[in-house]
Amino acid sequence: MRLMPLDQKSNLLDDLEKRFQTYLFFSQYYAGKADPPILSWFYHEMDSFLGEHPLIIQGLDLLHEVQGEDSTAFRYDFNRLFVGPGKLLAPPYESAYLNQDGLVMQEETLSVRKYYRTAGLEISALGREPDDHIVFQLEFICYLLSQEAQALNGVEDDHINYLELYRKFFAEHLMIWVPKHTRDVQVHSQTSACKAMGLLLEGFLETEKQALN
Amino acid sequence: MDRRTHVSRRTFLKGAAATGALAGVGSLLDFQPVHFRHAQARTDISTEVFQNACPRNCYDTCAILTTVEDGVIKSVTGNPKNTYTRGRLCVKGNSYPRIVYSPDRIKYPMRQKGRGSGNWERISWDEAMTEIAQKILDIKKEYGSTLPICLNKYSGNFNLLNYGIEGMMSSIGYTSRAAGTPCWPAGIDAQTFDFGTIWNNDPEEMVDSKYLILWGVNPAWCAVHSMQIVLEAKKRGCKIVAIDPLFSQTAVKADLYLQIKPSTDGALALGMCRYILDNELYDGDWLVRNAKGYEEFFGYLKNNITVEWAAEKTGIPAKVIENLAHEFASVKPAGIWIGYGMQRHTNGGQNVRAIDALVAMTGNVGIPGGGARYAHLETWGFNYHAMVHSPPAGSLGDGDRLINMNNFAAEVLAADEPPIKMLWIACRNPMAQDPETSVMQKAFEAMDLVVTVDQFMNDTVKMSDIVLPCTTLFESPGINVSYWHHWMNLNEQAIAPMYEAKHDVEIAMELSKKLNELEPGSCSFPTDLTMEEWLANEFNAGIYQLFGINDWRELKSKGPVKAESLKVAWQNGRFRTPSGKYEFWSEEAEKFGHHPLPVWVEEYKAPEKYPFRCISPHWKLGIHSQFQQTDWMEQINDKPFVEIHPNVAAQYGIHEGDNVKVYNDLGYVIVPARITTATSKDCVVVYEAWYKDKNFNINYTVKALPADMGSKATGMPGIAFHDNFVNIEKV
């Protein structure tokens, strides 16, 4: 199924929920909290609301193979791509892709920091981790979606248009660099799990891009 | 089954609940982000400027000013208050933010499953400390001491506080230690025999020289701030002579360049001495007042040395030697800067003694603008509080076991009763920088545990079990002095440590805590000091007096300070030799197995099979294995190469860019050729460096051949890096 456009109010809460869960899952994955058993669960339980984008179909097919995959091999692959200690094969930082010198903590990172502050947040590891790490970006979106849902429910109203903030952040940040990153994942990943998650993320963002337009 | 069947609302919520459970962070309507906090209220983003100090193993040891905005380094520049740095950094210093903010830094403690496998898992600091501490305790139990644990730490960071790593090792008991220095020990011993210790004039007063010989030194690449001084001296009329087997960038700027046959520097100096003696151009008054054994030296010259002989040895025509000697002895002040490259030979120490003798006999010691300038340690009189610790009560053994740093791999493998089972590597990259790389590989393979503390993946990290991330100079405080200029630079913490990086002293405190937790009383390293307290504990009255301050905190407002009283070395004529004089005749030298006089010792000659001397000097874009891996340097040059003389290239059918195998009995490297007359027909040149992701290491060909001197002052002889003989072939 497709993610519904954001302006169809009747389904908005459901829509927010689906997006929220998807972003949350990817953020958990990038935080290193998902291994092949959890990814298999993802395959069984959540595949249906990711949409029909070809990359998603491809990713889900690949994820099917993950069930038999060795957790250790996945972990080493994950670290080679995103953690280190060697040169990162698919750096999880926006700045690593967009900064002209490929450095973190430059203009690009600080622009993300500014976004967080607009929503009244900053990362707890301020100055210690680059603010534009994918985990933070995904979790930030979860926060925006959650705030929007709470506003809809009349829980909070602090005059911030969270949906608009999400739309802008998606277009100005996530969508600009994550596809470059997931392509690196395709090139360098050695396990189905990492490859599949890259395909799914890219497919999901492509679908979301359509939905947000 | 078709996966894409419709999912009911109920299933969906089940899934949602499971995701929430995985996250432990609630659901859409009750979400608390775990990696965020409420933004601190701020009215403006302040810009602050911090003092930093370049801690690299470099003459220049620069004072840096770092501009920080919102906790992020915006720029670095030289601190103009330090008149040696003069407000400018070199390309390496200017690249520092790129090191701090490279996405490829080592960020977290990690453990490799299978040394060299590339299979790494992330672990917490606590897990890392537990595993290391447990291994230390197991070793102690099995072998009855901590001697199977070996530390290899040296020049990667000369912040005084980094000696805390040695301190940590001392705090667990007696251990094995890489001892000595690969850099400069032969020259240190030479000057120790002659003067009593090393002490060079303030390099800033080189501008007052009337005649300056840059002997085996390349400041245009390796001490750029001094090059500025050399050029200023030249502008003021000083004649600049460069003596080097290689036509270096420094030589390009000189008034006269002499391409000497490598390792014959002593012959040239002695030939000059003979000419000066014959023509009575020496400073008899100075010798009478200050020198011991000059008559014996003169006798040696008369009986053994001629200018013609020197010409034959050095490849420099007799007439040129006479002119050089005449000029050098006829103007005052005349000085010589003796480089470290020229003492990396089996006769390197003797060659330095001969050059010292040349400067001394012309009365150029102890005067402004003169001097036999090599290095100094006069400003290094700190407490070494971080370094000096007693072993815990009841430690067995009678001291640390010294492992020659210059033959490290072989000595680690040979160590017995007890063997060496664990390596701790800090501030070093021995897999890339030490001789006999393949033996080093075996030594690493023989260990039970290898721990490396570093900032980037390199050949040594690749061969480690656990890697611990360490801070850059901007992320921890410290204090730095130079072995060349006379300044002291405070290093302030400018930004928070990125990721989970820790300073060596913090790592030592963590390990000490863990050891004592597992076995109370097993480590005496203090665990309750702040970094600022560690820093404060390094200072003493002597340092305060030397630098004219009352408290180190003054440096925060005052900036860098200079030890003005050290300006002219040996001006007071009180030498620190046994006789209190400058010693042409040194009984100390004799005690260490050398001739008491600065005599000629034959150079190491090329064996028939390996006709070329392979010189591996320092590279302009790096310091040993640091800096070349950064993107800036890679953009300028990311290819190692071998420099070959055109005649040799023609003889071997080698053209520019051809791949050339440089080899000997030990190993080989394959690198593209650069055809140049900068080197001679007897030498090929491969600059030593570590290139990220490149299978290049000239040390595969370098034997752990000791230099003649070094044992007196540094505990171990130096290493004859430049007595490496190879053959070449086009591949």
Q: What are residue B669's phi and psi, to 5 degrees?
A: -135, 150
For the residues of B600-629, what is the DSSP string, one character each?
Answer: --PPP---TT--EEEE--B-TT-BTTBSTT
The whole-number average pLDDT for the span B651-659 is 98
Radius of gyration of chain B measured on its C-alpha atoms: 28
Sign of CA dihedral B548, B550, B555, B557: negative
**pLDDT tens digit sequence for B680-716:** 999 999 999 988 888 899 989 999 899 999 999 999 9
**pLDDT tens digit sequence for B550-584:** 999 999 999 999 999 999 999 999 999 999 999 99
Where do the domains of chain A lie? 9-212
Distance from C-alpha of B371 to C-alpha of B362, rounded to nearest angstrom: 10
Distance from C-alpha of B341 to C-alpha of A114, rounded to nearest angstrom: 51
Instruction: Select the residue of B23, B28, B101 nearest A103 (Cβ to Cβ).
Output: B101
Determine the pLDDT at residue B191: 98
With beta carbons under 8 A apart, name residues in chain B contacting A29: none
- For residue B20, pLDDT beyond 50: no
Find the farthest-apart pair of alpha carbons in chain B and give their distance in angstroms, rounded. 107
With beta carbons under 8 A apart, name residues in chain A contacting B16: 17, 21
Instruction: Select the residue of A104, A121, A146 nearest B38 (Cβ to Cβ).
Output: A121
**pLDDT tens digit sequence for B173-188:** 999 999 988 899 999 9
Q: Tell me if B54 sits within 8 A of B93, measured CB to CB.
A: yes
- Comparing C-alpha atoms, which of B57, B345, B352, B382 is closest to residue B200? B352
Instruction: Select the residue of B6, B107, B693 nearest A48 (Cβ to Cβ).
Output: B6
- Count contacts between A and B (CB, < 8 Å): 177
The whole-number average pLDDT for the span A193-206 is 94
Instruction: Select the residue of A34, A80, A150 nearest B29 (Cβ to Cβ).
Output: A150
Q: Is B73 helix (H, G, I), strand (E, B) or coil?
A: strand
Q: How much is the ipTM here?
A: 0.94
Determine the pLDDT at residue A7: 54
Determine the pLDDT at residue A5: 53
**pLDDT tens digit sequence for B210-264:** 999 999 999 999 999 999 999 999 999 999 999 999 999 999 999 999 999 999 9
How far A195 CA lies from chain B's nearest CA (Å)?
18
Q: Tell me if B725 sits within 8 A of B705, measured CB to CB.
A: no
- For chain B, give the percent of residues with pLDDT over 90: 89
Q: Per CATH, is A9-212 categorized as 1.10.3480.10?
A: yes
Radius of gyration of chain A measured on its C-alpha atoms: 17
Q: What is the 3-state secondary structure (H, E, C) of B655-716?
A: CCCCEEEEECCCCEEEEEEEECCCCCCCEEECCECCCCCCCCCHHHCCCCCECCCCHHHHCC
Residues 6+ apart with CB under 8 A from B472: B96, B99, B100, B455, B498, B501
Q: Tell me if B182 sits within 8 A of B624, measured CB to CB.
A: no
* CA closest to B8 among chain A residues: A48
Domains of chain B: 1-33 (no CATH), 129-183+391-485+495-539 (3.40.50.740), 185-374+568-591 (3.40.228.10), 612-730 (2.40.40.20)
Q: Tell me if B380 sits within 8 A of B481, measured CB to CB.
A: yes
Contact criterion met (CB < 8 Å) for B103 and A104: yes
Contact criterion met (CB < 8 Å) for B457 and A87: yes
Contact criterion met (CB < 8 Å) for B28 and A149: yes
Residue A154 CB burial class (10 angstroms; 0-12, 13-18, ≥19):
exposed
- Comparing C-alpha atoms, which of B235, B258, B238 is closest to residue B310? B258
Q: Is B165 helix (H, G, I), strand (E, B) or coil?
A: helix
Higher pLDDT, B45 or B167: B167
Q: Tell me if A99 sits within 8 A of B98, measured CB to CB.
A: no
With beta carbons under 8 A apart, name residues in chain B contacting A155: 29
Find the farthest-apart pair of alpha carbons in chain A and give their distance in angstroms, rounded. 49
- For residue A204, pLDDT beyond 50: yes
Q: From its phi and psi, is residue B606 left (phi > 0), alpha (psi between -120 and 50) or beta?
A: beta
Determine the pLDDT at residue B25: 53
Instruction: Select the residue of B11, B22, B108 nearest A83 (Cβ to Cβ).
Output: B108
Residue B719 CB burial class (10 angstroms; 0-12, 13-18, ≥19):
buried
Residue A128 CB burial class (10 angstroms; 0-12, 13-18, ≥19):
middle
With beta carbons under 8 A apart, name residues in chain A contacting B122: 32, 79, 83
Q: What is the 3-state secondary structure (H, E, C) of B641-654?
A: CEEECHHHHHHCCC
**pLDDT bracket for residue A47 (50, 70, 90):** low
Q: What are residue B479's phi and psi, to 5 degrees?
A: -145, 135
With beta carbons under 8 A apart, name residues in chain B contacting A56: none
**pLDDT tens digit sequence for A131-183:** 999 999 999 999 999 999 988 887 666 678 899 999 999 999 999 999 999 99
Contact criterion met (CB < 8 Å) for A41 and B18: yes
With beta carbons under 8 A apart, name residues in chain B contacting A109: 72
The whole-number average pLDDT for the span B165-175 is 97
The whole-number average pLDDT for the span B655-662 is 98
How far A17 CA lies from chain B's nearest CA (Å)?
6
How far B33 CA lies from chain A's nearest CA (Å)?
6
**pLDDT tens digit sequence for A59-92:** 988 888 887 778 899 999 999 999 999 999 999 9
* CA closest to A26 among chain B residues: B19
Question: What's the mean pLDDT when you consider all of chain B?
Answer: 94
Determine the pLDDT at residue B269: 98
Instruction: Select the residue of B29, B120, B631 nearest A149 (Cβ to Cβ).
Output: B29
Higher pLDDT, B349 or B692: B349
